[in-house]
Amino acid sequence: MVAPGRIFAEATALNPRHHQHLFVPSKLAYIRGKRPRVKCILCSVARGDKKVTPLVAHETPGFLVTVNLYPYNPGHLMVFPRRHVEDFRELGSAEGLELNRLLALSLDILQKHYSPHGFNLGCNMGAASGASIEHLHFHVVPRYSREKSFMDIISGTRIFAEDPKKALRALRKAFQKAPKG
């Protein structure tokens, strides 16, 4: 996948008149910061390490839900265990239940806030699968039946992303309001 920031930069360079409608890439770069030098980025997020960007939308005893720093689509969430697990089969049954509930809750909240037509839901295990982070994490990605093609993106006709911090504030509120249990 091409980094969204790069697509942005290309889109705005090709079509400056659309610039004001697009999320400003330099701001995105500022929010993302430099890739932190930590052993495991998700363990660092779980610990509340100040070296990593805090994008936590929701927390439970065993799991975290974060806004993805490199979203494929607006509303792209990640759900992952606090403890460092690399294989789905290492999760216990109580963790499995907690994960199941969180994924369902994430789908409910994204459905309400983004009204997508579908979702991609899943995880990559191992470098060969495309996983760039070893720590097990599930992606929840809202999808739209009229999503534009890559050509639309680079020609600047698509609003590609939203400000992750703005998304984070709205989603955090939604998770707080969600019924518990």
Contacting residues toward Zn ion, per CB under 5 A? 40, 42-43, 84, 135
Nearest alpha-carbon partner for 156 in 42, 7, 41: 7
**Residue whose tokens read 């360079």:** 13
Closer CB to Zn ion, residue 80 or residue 119?
80
Query: What residue has token string 């470098």?
Result: 127
Residue 123: closest CA among 95, 89, 153: 89
Of 43, 127, 131, residue with least CA distance to 85: 43
Catalytic residue, chosen from 76, 135, 137, 139, is 137
Q: Structure tokens of 42?
A: 């998700």
Q: Nearer Cβ to Zn ion, position 44 or 155?
A: 44
Is residue 137 annotated as part of the catalytic site, yes or no? yes
Taking the least distance from each CB to Zn ion, the nearer of 64 and 174 is 64
Q: Which is nearer to Zn ion, 94 or 133 (CB)?
A: 133
How far, CA to CA in Å, does 42 sit from each of 6, 66, 80, 118?
A: 24, 10, 8, 26
Token output for 177: 């309001």
As beta bridge partners, residue 80 has 64
> Which residues are known catalytic residues?
137
